[in-house]
Amino acid sequence: MGGTGDEGYGLALRWATAGYQVIIGSRSIDRAHSAAQLITKTAGPNSKVSGMLNDQAAAAAEIVVVTVPFAALIETLKTVKASLTPGKILVNVTVPLETAIGGKPTRTVGLWGGSAGEMASNIVPKGISVVTAFNNVSAEPLSDLAKKVECDVLICGDDRDAKKIVMELVTAIPGARGVDAGPLENSRTVEQITALLVGMNIRYGVHSAGFRVTGIPLA
């Protein structure tokens, strides 16, 4: 969902390049197809990428990754809800930036449930594991296959198995390292870090501020 935006495009491109079967979901079937074609062109003829409407994409996928702008998050989740059958994993990448209400990308809005990840978890059916991940990875290095992603991916969720599967999606992106950042409630902090990094991008005149966790045993 949101695969036609910059972040979704970048993630889809990386996973398609790594050999994953990728379905781009969109509200517009034309835009889904265009994005799928563009990714196929870049990732190569052996990549397995298709485009579908959001609800069809969610029905066909095992792991549903949401990268829509925050203002569209609730609507998108409601659209795909019926397609999310038990056992599927929903990865929420969307961050509640203040831009959703006409504010700044360096701030977030406060959510009743604490975070977009927890909000998503309250909307999707029981039996769906919601995992927070990839929120802090800039679209720019993702979209350029010549670049390594110089950023760790903080993974939050309450289902260990789901987190392990998402960890594999991280490993498929050269340079990215997954870090277990605890329960889903920690999405509160992880999502806010995105706004902090946007501020650093602005202050330091760059496009891909990220971070590496230090002092913990990681591959």
Return the number of the residue (86 or 215) whose C-beta is nearest a second copy: 215
Return the number of the residue (128 or 137) whose C-beta is nearest a second copy: 137
Count of residues binding a second copy (CB under 8 A)?
Answer: 38
CA dihedral for 4, 148, 191, 88, sign (positive or negative): positive
Return the number of the residue (55 or 191) whose C-beta is nearest a second copy: 191
176 binds a second copy (CB under 8 A): no
41-48 own/partner pairs: CB under 8 Å, 24+ apart: 42/13, 42/145, 43/13, 43/16, 43/17, 43/145, 44/17, 47/16, 47/17, 47/19, 47/22, 48/16, 48/19, 48/20, 48/21, 48/22
Q: Which of 40, 92, 94, 138 binds a second copy (CB under 8 A)?
A: 138
69 binds a second copy (CB under 8 A): no
105 binds a second copy (CB under 8 A): no
88 binds a second copy (CB under 8 A): no
For the CB of residue 197, give the shortest distance to a second copy in the complex, in Å.
8
CA dihedral for 95, 101, 105, 108, sign (positive or negative): negative
Please state, in angstroms and rounded to a whole number, the distance separating the CA atoms of residues 143 and 165: 22
Where along the sequence are the contacts to a second copy (CB under 8 A)? 106-107, 138, 141, 150-152, 154, 179-182, 185-186, 188-190, 192-193, 195-196, 199-201, 203-204, 206-217
